[in-house]
Each structure stands twice: as structure tokens, then as C-alpha cells.
Amino acid sequence: MEKYKHRVQYYETDRMGVTHHSNYIRWMEEARIDFLHRIGLEYAKMEEMGISSPVTEVECKFKHSTTFSDEVFISVSLEDFNGVRMKLSYLMENEAREIVAEGHSEHCFIGREGKFIRMKKDYPEFYNALIGSKEYFKN
């Protein structure tokens, strides 16, 4: 599977020319939206249907710095999904295939009323797409 690619922008760096740590979390979000798109779960369509997927936890471990114009390749995999919560893992590598960061994010699914959605029962097509991605997106 093709990895999500992000080119470090100048504004993402600090006074030392190194990517500011907060941007890695943003890149994880970009890669998550791309992951959902690739398995047929357009985030905009989910929102139109009243489904939100807020972040309940996020973690990122930094291994190697990046700088302006570096390309970062992000692999996303579904680590866990129980129909209500999902956990995604991220592996970020530079062009030399060095790991620059790795992390995970956890999300739940809620409806317009702010109540948890049980995806298997309420939206089986989304549930099946996520379950099917587990094998498809292994790193």
C-alpha cells in the first residue's frame, strides 16, 4: 500500500530549522484522513451522516529530526477496533527510510446527539471497511 507523503514546509520549522514537534501530530491527522479515504470511508461523508470520530488519545515518540523540504512517508495501520473505538498506529520515515517518529491515536465514534455509535449495528458498511483494512494495511 502506498504510504502517505508529506513534504516539510518552512513554516513548520522552528528557529533552529528543525520541524516543530506539534506538526507530527498534524501529519498523523492528515494520514488518518487519507487512510479512511483509501478504505472507502470519506470523512466528509461520515460527517454528513452525523458521524464524528474525535481523538480520545494521541502519542508520538520522536526518533530523528526533520527539516524544511524533507519528505516524510507515513504508514498507517489499524491496531485495534471494537466497533466503538479504534486505535491507529503511525510510522513516519524520511527518504533514507530512517524512522523519524512513531505514534498512535485512539478515536471513538459518536452521532449528532453526542452518544456513542456502535458501528457494526448502526453503520455496517463502515464497520466492514475498517475490519477489512486490518489485513490490507499491515506494515
Cell of 52: 464524528
Q: At which residue does the C-alpha cell 524520511 appear? A: 94
Cell of 137: 494495511
The strands making up 99-108's β-sheet, listed across from edge to edge, are 4-7, 71-81, 85-93, 99-108, 55-62
Q: Which of 14, 34, 70, 80 is catalytic?
A: 14
Residue 14 falls in the annotated catalytic set: yes
126 secondary structure, DSSP code: H
Closest by CA position to 90, among listed 135, 41, 24: 24
Closest by CA position to 95, among listed 2, 1, 6: 6
Cell of 67: 527539516
- Find the radius of gyration of the CA atoms of the chain: 16
Q: Which residues participate in catalysis according to the annotation? A: 14
